[in-house]
Amino acid sequence: MRLSELSRAAGLPRATVRWYLRVGLLHPGTPTAANQARYDETHVRRLRLVRVLLEVGGMSVDAARRVLAAVDRADVSVGELLAVAHRALSTTSPRGDRPEELAAVDRFLTDRGWQVRPDSPARRDLAAVLAALRDLGPDSAPPVDTPAAVDRLLTPYAAAAERIARSEIRNAPAGLTREQLVERVIAGSVLMERALTALRRLAHEHHAIQRYGAGRDAPAAG
Among residue numbers 56 through 75, which ones bind a copy of itself (CB under 8 A)?
56, 58, 75
Hey, which residues between 179 and 218 contact a copy of itself (CB under 8 A)? 180, 183-185, 187-189, 191-217
Classify residue 213 as left (phi > 0), alpha (psi -120 to 50) or beta: left
Region near a copy of itself per CB under 8 A, out of 15-23, 25-33, 41-49, 61-69: 41-49
Region near a copy of itself per CB under 8 A, out of 21-29, 31-39, 61-69, 92-100: 92-100
**Rounded to an integer, what distance in angstroms lies between the CA atom of residue 134 and that of residue 129?**
9
Sign of the CA dihedral 107, 113, 115, 121? negative
23 binds a copy of itself (CB under 8 A): no
Site string for a copy of itself, 139-178 (x = CB under 8 A): xxxx-----------x-xxxxxxxxxxxxxx-x-------
φ/ψ of 214, rounded to 5, equals -90, -10
Among 55, 72, 97, 145, binds a copy of itself (CB under 8 A): 55
**Rounded to an integer, what distance in angstroms lies between the CA atom of residue 26 and that of residue 24?**
5
**Rounded to an integer, what distance in angstroms lies between the CA atom of residue 27 and that of residue 71?**
13
Q: How far apart are the first and last CA of the chain?
A: 43
If binding means CB under 8 A, how many residues of this protein chain bind a copy of itself? 104
Partners of residue 38 on adjacent β-strands: 30
Smallest gap from Cβ 34 to a copy of itself, in A, equals: 33
21 binds a copy of itself (CB under 8 A): no
123 binds a copy of itself (CB under 8 A): yes
